[in-house]
Chains A and B, each alone.
Chain A
Amino acid sequence: DQQVKQNSPSLSVQEGRISILNCDYTNSMFDYFLWYKKYPAEGPTFLISISSIKDKNEDGRFTVFLNKSAKHLSLHIVPSQPGDSAVYFCAASPNDMRFGAGTRLTVKP
């Protein structure tokens, strides 16, 4: 019963190019969406969020886009850097946060 889905387990991009990570959700009650980044042997760390009343939020190299009609959001990282290599989790809430399974991003020098 996964309400938040990340269908791509992995993504590899070249340094300097754009990374696009995708996330789909099923629960129309979700009103906040967040992206977390996780390095090995560490807990997830908050990256960026978006409210359901917006369709875009930008913070430096990171931009999150929300398409409510499609129940889809994406995280764009541009330009990608080797230090961005990590697992990225999409999360959604109205109450307790629900997480996707994560996408492992590898940025190659």
Chain B
Amino acid sequence: GAVVSQHPSWVICKSGTSVKIECRSLDFQATTMFWYRQFPKQSLMLMATSNEGSKATYEQGVEKDKFLINHASLTLSTLTVTSAHPEDSSFYICSARARRGNSYGYTFGSGTRLTVV
């Protein structure tokens, strides 16, 4: 089945530094990838949609200059948290949609736990 690999699984960084999270589709081409943020015991909140070869579309309230998304190929999307602050600490999850369309839903990465100290 479709597999999405997300790295790193956890990261601790100092306040003011940048962190990059990678999301790779291993056995299919992902035209669209989505990035979510999840706080403990809460739902997944969509941050942005990345389409291969074009600019990401951000949800309302998400700072595009802080959360940089790049989808340079059909198998890789990256989320860079720039100038991270403690309030950016959260669980970030990527998901990918294969070319088969909406009916098959999405495949999710295993998530990245970011802690900013």
Say whether A and B bind each other: no
